[in-house]
Each structure stands twice: as structure tokens, then as C-alpha cells.
Amino acid sequence: MIAKPYQKILQNKLHHTRYLLLILVVASLQLLRQVKLEVLAEALPLPILFESRRKKLRRFLRIKQFNIETIWFPCVSALVEEMFNPNDRIYLAIDRTSWGVINILMVSVIYDHRAWPIYWELLDKKGSSNFDEQTAVLAKSLGLLSNYSVVVLGDREFCSPKLGNWLSFEGAYFCLRQKNNTLVWQDTEVARELKDYGVKPGVKLFINDCHVTKQKGFGTFNIACKWKRTYQGFKTKEPWYILTNFDDVEPAIVAYQRRFSIEEMFRDFKSGGYSLEGSKLSGEYLSKLMIIVAIAYTSAILQGRHIKRMGIQKYVVRPETQSSGQRQHSAFYVGLHQHSWLFLRGLCQKIVDELLEINRRWLNYYKKGERAIEFALCTL
């Protein structure tokens, strides 16, 4: 279902019948983990013909006011208030993902080893984004976070010192990974490529107040360099060179490491979660479908977060062990899987009651489970 912080917002923004339909679509999406319209139409619990359900979904995606600024931005503001305190620092990752002819540029908030999207644009081309496209999505995102300290993280597609200069002007911190052949120099030095600084595994280096590339007019930047021996259990092949306005190497490296949480989000959106690449939609239809996915995704995160806080996640998913090799279940994973448990519990209520009546000796354990179900239902 839709997370509680969103409910009043969406009720105010949508006609009541459209709001109710959105609830049904999100509920179907959480159970099926498929965004293909035909699949959603098959499950949509409306007593009308299949083709009528499919057309109803298509008409919903044509609603003019169902857009990022009108629907999703107010939800983002509510989500930020729910997850962050006024003095917190917020980390944003800018990245691009593509499949087939679809090319999406997205800005996301990093939170609890995951990310969730603030704003995105579908690029009408293949390949990398340019400065104008990057600043367009960042400007929209930074505008929603004007009361917070923000750090923008980007990989080598976003290495431009022009972008770093723009972010400084906007009052944001930044950590932008550079290519190893990037030219840098300080006022008393000859320009040389970053790879010529001789950074080796386990070594870190901080180059402060240096010029980057031979283009003029951008001022000076800092470069944090570090070659981690291993990262997430794997040997790293080369150093990180991070263009930044932080004053020390360690804060820049620690901040940049957070960027990899966006890869988890893309996996959740695609084959590891909602199978977005199987939607076969494009353009405006796809962008509006992504609003529904964003609502479902962050709702699962919020609901999973509450379940973990209440200590009842062992009823929803496999218990975590203390072994260091096992990844902890994310809030998204817990929140998503609770829907299957609760849905089947409601669907098979009579059978469950009969089993409980037969196995009376386990009644105390069943009662604990029933209380866990009541708590889980409170998150929906």
C-alpha cells in the first residue's frame, strides 16, 4: 500500500476515484513486482473486463496533473522530513541508466545503503548526458533541499570542472570522480595527468588548490586520491581521483563511497525488483509509470523501516545471522516482502484459523504472530 506520509498529499492532489485506483495499482505492483501494464491489469481487483482494466491503466497514465512536479515533489518533501533532521547532511547521486532505446538521467537521495529518486528526465538520445542536461536535473533536485547541506556525488560521466564550479555556486559540496588522464596542475607546477602522481594500493593523496584541465575560468579545486586495496570484498583495479570542494581526503572518499548505493536502487527498479525494463513503455508514459514505481519503492522502504524498528522482521523475512558474509536485509526488502505475507494471510484466513484450532499446543506462539501481523498492518 501507499506509505502514510503520502496519503493526505495524494488525496489532495488527485480526484478520489483516481487516488483509490492508484492505491490498487501500488498494491498490485508490490505483490507482482512487475510494471508491465498487461500484468498489472491481470491482477487489478476491479470487476470489469481485462481489456477495460488495461485501458483504465493507460488512461490513468495520461492524466495531465499526474507529473513529477505536481505529484512526486510534495511526496519527496514529506519523505525528506520523515527521514532527515534539519541539520543533517543529504547526499545526492547523479547517474544515468539505460536499456534498449531508453536513456534516463536521474538524481537520487542516498539513504541507509539504498537510494531513492528525486527527479529524472528521459533523454531523447543515446549515450552520455551533457552539462545542460546535468544542471537541469540537479537544479530541480537542489531546489527541494534548500534547507539542508547537500553533497552531490557523480561518476566519471559527471567529471566536468564546469559542473563542479556550478555546484559550488549553488552552495553544494561535490565529489566527482575523474578519469586517470585528467590534467591537473598547481600554480608552481607543470600540468600532468593524475595517473602520473603514482598513487598505489593502500595509498592516499590530497592535491589542494589545483587547476583541472586547461580550460580557463573555473578557479581551483581539490583532488582526493585513494587506491583502496579492496572495496566490498573485491580488489580494486585503479585509484579513485575525486574532484571536490572538501578540505581533506577522508571526507571526500567516505562521501564518494555512498554513491554506489544508487546501483542497488537501479537493481531494485529493474530485474531485482519491479522489472522496469520490461514495461515496454517510453516517453511520457514511462516517466509517469516511474512516479508510481517511486511511490511504491519508497513506501516499501518506509514500511520496512517501521517493521525493523518494531523488531518483527523475523516474521516477514528469513532471520539474519551474525556471519559477516551475509548481507543484512534492507528496509526495502522487508517492506516489499511483507505484502506477500499479509495478502496470503488475509486470502487464506479460514484455513489459517482452522490450523490454529487444530494445533492448540502452539497457541501462545500463534498469538505472538498475530500481534506481529497487527503491527505490520499498522505500517500500511
Tell me, what's the pLDDT at 217?
Answer: 61
Query: Per residue in 220-254, pLDDT tens?
Result: 899 999 998 776 666 778 899 999 999 999 999 99
* Angstrom distance (rounded) from CA 111 to CA 108: 9
**Rounded to whole angstroms, how far apart are CA atoms 208 and 363?**
67
Q: Is the pLDDT of residue 269 over 90?
A: no
Per DSSP, the three-state class of 354 is helix
121, pLDDT greater than 60: yes
Q: The cell 559550488 sits on which residue?
A: 168
Cα–Cα–Cα angle for 227, 232, 237, rounded to 5 degrees: 35
Please report which confidence band the pLDDT of residue 324 belongs to, taking 50, 70 and 90 as the band edges. Answer: very low
Express as a percent the part of the chain with pLDDT over 90. Answer: 53
Contact 106, 119 (CB under 8 A): yes
Provide the pLDDT for residue 214: 67
Q: 107 vs 269, which has greater pLDDT?
A: 107
Return the residue matching grid coordinates 557523480.
154
Whether pLDDT at 89 is above 80 = yes
pTM beyond 0.85, yes or no: yes
Query: Directed axis angle between helix 73-83 and helix 283-310, to 10°?
Result: 20
Pick the CATH number of 84-266 from 3.90.350.10, 3.30.420.40, 3.30.1550.10, 3.40.190.10: 3.90.350.10
**Lowest-confidence range among 142-156, 171-185, 349-363?**
349-363
- The size of the chain, in residues, is 380
Domain spans, the chain = 84-266, 308-378
Q: List the single range of 102-116, 276-290, 314-328, 337-351 with lowest mean pLDDT.
A: 314-328
Per-residue pLDDT at 336 exceeds 60 = yes
